[in-house]
Amino acid sequence: MPSSVSPFGNLYAYKLYTLPTAKRLFGSYSFRRKPTIKHHTNVQKMLEILSQNGPLTTWGMAKVNFQNDVSGIRTKEKEYRRLLKGRKDRGKHSPGVLDVGLVVVEGKSYNRGPSDIYRLSLPGILYCIEVLDLTHKEIDTMARHHATVLPWIFGRWEYLKSVIGNDVYRIKTLAGGTFLDNIQVTKMSKFPIFELLTYLSIKYQENYEYIDEKDLADQISCWFYTHLLIPAKPQERSSVENNKIKKILSGDKDLKTWYYGFVKEAIKFYDDRFKTIKKLEKI
């Protein structure tokens, strides 16, 4: 996965800026659900192609629709290029999908001359889950094509499904901008969800405007596994959910080492803060 600085920020930037902006410019509901304006439909269909096929050039995207119809491919390719880069003609400017950060350039293809290869960014993946009404099977396909972009989740998707079943689709909660990083979460589980999510916010608070995509993948992944500590249903006991995450971690040593590394960071953070608070006794 590329480690360059990406045109988007942390999860709060996604929640407060990227998602609302994308919904305003490209639609807040799926074209599948009910008719919407043509621009929204066109952008969403392009994002759907990327979600189900992985990285593609604009020519590759167009071929999904038109196969061997060269004339149709060329027309659609021009449309996709405009949707990606926006319009800057006649003194007017409308942001493209690249500007908003839903898509990034993955690399170059030289099959038909130099052409950019595009793929969904992490915010783009979350937007697709939130807006496009993807089925579970379609989310599975997207996970397979983006395993290297979100390795701790999508890279282990089939393993996670084998352990926790449909609970993997709780990533929809994150895609909708719900982080459960408030005081109410302390009432939902005996485990330190509030403390872990609060530390997660603090850890990446300086990355509101720009973040390395690998760091954003880690932030998303830490949220995902911490969220599994919360009962899926109010009547379920926290201990049952805890057994699920323990089973996940016990079956994947690398994942366990990575996640417990985050937990240890949180422990050190709160130990240091506690020592600072204790100093008030001496004032």
Interval 232-251: pLDDT, tens:
765 565 555 567 888 999 99
Q: Which residues pair with 108 in a beta bridge?
A: 116
> What pLDDT is stored for residue 238 in this prediction?
55
CB-based contact 238:36 (threshold 8 Å): no
Query: What is the pLDDT at residue 4?
Result: 43
Domain ranges of the chain: 11-125, 136-276
C-alpha to C-alpha distance for 54 and 64, rounded to whole angstroms: 12
Amino acid identity of residue 218, one-letter, is D
pLDDT score, position 245: 87
From 223, 48, 220, 59, select the one nearest 142 (Cα to Cα).
Answer: 48
Tokens representing residue 275 in the block: 């020592």
Give domain 11-125's CATH architecture. Orthogonal Bundle (1.10)
Question: pLDDT, tens digit, for every residue of 183-228?
Answer: 566 566 678 888 999 999 999 999 999 999 999 999 999 999 998 8
pLDDT for the residue 237: 55
Burial class (CB in 10 A: 0-12, 13-18, 19+), 253: exposed
Sign for the pseudo-dihedral over CA of 166, 167, 171, 177:
positive
Looking at residue 5, its pLDDT comes to 43
Amino acid 3: pLDDT: 39
The full 3-state SS of the chain, as one line of letters, equals CCCCECCCCCHHHHHHHHHHHHHHHHCCCCCCCCCCCHHHHHHHHHHHHHHHHCCECHHHHHHHHHCCCHHHHHHHHHHHHHHHHCECCCCCCECCHHHHCCEEEEEEECECECEEEEEECHHHHHHHHHHCCCCHHHHHHHHHHCCCCCCCCHHHHHHHHHHHHHHHHHHHHHHCCCCCCCHHHHHCCCCCHHHHHHHHHHHCHHHCCCCEHHHHHHHHHHHHHHHCCCCCCCCCCHHHHHHHHHHHHHCCHHHHHHHHHHHHHHHHHHHHHHHHHHHHHHC
Residue 80: what pLDDT? 95
pLDDT at 1: 40
Q: Give me the pLDDT at residue 244, please.
A: 82
CA nearest to 14, candidates 118, 100, 103: 100
Positions in the chain short of pLDDT 70: 1-6, 88-92, 179-189, 233-242
> How far, in Å, CA of 151 to CA of 1, rounded?
9
pTM: 0.90
Are 114 and 106 spatial neighbours (Cβ–Cβ below 8 Å)? no
- Taking each helix axis from N to C terminus, what angle separates 136-145 and 122-131, rounded to the nearest 10 degrees? 170
Cα-based distances in Å from 191 to 122, 227, 230, 239, 255: 28, 11, 8, 9, 20
Paired tokens of 267: 């422990």
